[in-house]
Amino acid sequence: EVQLMESGGGLEQPGGSLRLSCAASEFTFSSYGMSWVRQAPGKGLEWVSTISGGGGSTYYADSVKGRFTVSRDNSKNTLYLQMSSLRAEDTAVYYCAKAQSGSYVWLDKWGQGTLVTVSS
């Protein structure tokens, strides 16, 4: 069964940095695009970033462009999100999600999420 497990969340001060990881298993990781989607407490879903299967193409929401970097290590079946210059409004549960073949929007598997809290 496909599994995605996020880690790396926690409490960080404004202006600080965090790196999230998403460990994938039971599928050919390098063949699929992957995305990060976040959800602030009590709010809706917000797309953060997408990376192609080979890692050569990356996409970012305007709200995180220049501050967050998505990457992947296909030899380790792991997706990353390096977050810097963190702001209070980055506080959210961060989900990693696997895209189905055919479209980056067809996110057919999701992790359980990891909570990032930005506060002094």
Partner 1 sequence: QSVLTQPPSASGTPGQRVTISCSGSSSNIGSNTVNWYQQLPGTAPKLLIYNNGQRPSGVPDRFSGSKSGTSGSLAISGLQSEDEADYYCAAWDDSLKGILFGGGTKLTVL
The residues binding partner 1 (CB under 8 A) are 35, 37, 44-47, 50, 59-62, 95, 97, 100, 102-108, 110-113
Closest to partner 1 by CB, 13 or 108: 108
Q: Which residue is associated with the tokens 């917000």?
A: 46
Q: Least distance from C-beta 26 to partner 1, angstroms?
A: 15
Q: Least distance from C-beta 104 to partner 1, angstroms?
A: 6
Closest to partner 1 by CB, 73 or 108: 108
Q: Least distance from C-beta 60 to partner 1, angstroms?
A: 7
Closest to partner 1 by CB, 61 or 91: 61
Dihedral (CA of 108, 60, 44, 41) sign: positive
E strand intervals along 8-106: 10-12, 18-25, 34-39, 45-51, 58-60, 68-73, 78-83, 92-99
Q: Least distance from C-beta 63 to partner 1, angstroms?
A: 10
Q: Are 72 and 79 in contact (CB under 8 A)?
A: yes
Contact residues for 28 (Cβ-Cβ < 8 A; gap 6+): none
Closest to partner 1 by CB, 62 or 120: 62
> By three-state DSSP, how is residue 63 classified?
coil
